[in-house]
Amino acid sequence: MRILLLGNSFTSSHQLPQKLAALTGGQVVAHTRGGARLSEQLNPKTALGARTQAALQHEKWDFVVLQEMSHAPLTTPERFFQSVQQLCGQIRASGAIPVLFATWAYQKNSKKLAAKGWDYDGMARALSDAYTRAARENGAVCANVGQQFYAKAGTVALYDPDGVHPSEAGALVAAETLAAAMQTATKEKAGGATRQPGGPSGGEKP
């Protein structure tokens, strides 16, 4: 199994790619840059985009995971949905299955959350809704990591001290959620099921 991860520091933190490789037994390659948006992965004029576009066109993958910048689905939704649509089209054309890495709300009572003027529950719900919709509209798998963070809030130390990035435990939760989503998709594919735009995505609201 070959897995390509497209994202930023949420994807690269605490050796998440290595954790995913250990859980799946697959070869995991990560194309990340701190603060990167999915739109950058589409732009061949950037170093990250050129690398990603070459990988999608010339290499074989089983899964390609898409992780957007933390608040982009809320602050620039049109750009988010457009980027997901374009990348999912490229991913399917290459023969791979697109997976959306649905991220989490900033930690409750964190400085970043307060600075944005957002409510923890509201941010969690809005992110889940955005990723679930994007997955459904594009026939992609939704690995709802944010939902798992929401469910475990207060019981596991999921965040780094900044209240934004995942801790070691948070990165493990993310890797486990991604691995489970891929396992389910692999079973569906083996059974002859195909995901079509507008169909179920596997995402749920927190």
CATH number at residue 30: 3.40.50.1110
Query: Does pLDDT of 170 surpass 80?
Result: yes
Q: What is the pTM of this model?
A: 0.92
Give the separation between CA 105 and CA 116, rounded to whole angstroms: 12
Residue 115 clears pLDDT 60, i.e. is over it: yes
Would you state the pLDDT for residue 189? 83
Domain count, the chain: 1
| Position 34 pLDDT exceeds 70 | yes
pLDDT for position 198: 60
Please report whether residue 98 resides in a domain. Answer: yes
pLDDT tens digits, 71-85: 999 999 999 999 999
Instruction: Specify if 160 maps to a domain.
Output: yes
Average pLDDT over the chain reads 94
Q: Quick one: average pLDDT of 23-38?
A: 98
Domain that holds residue 135: 2-190
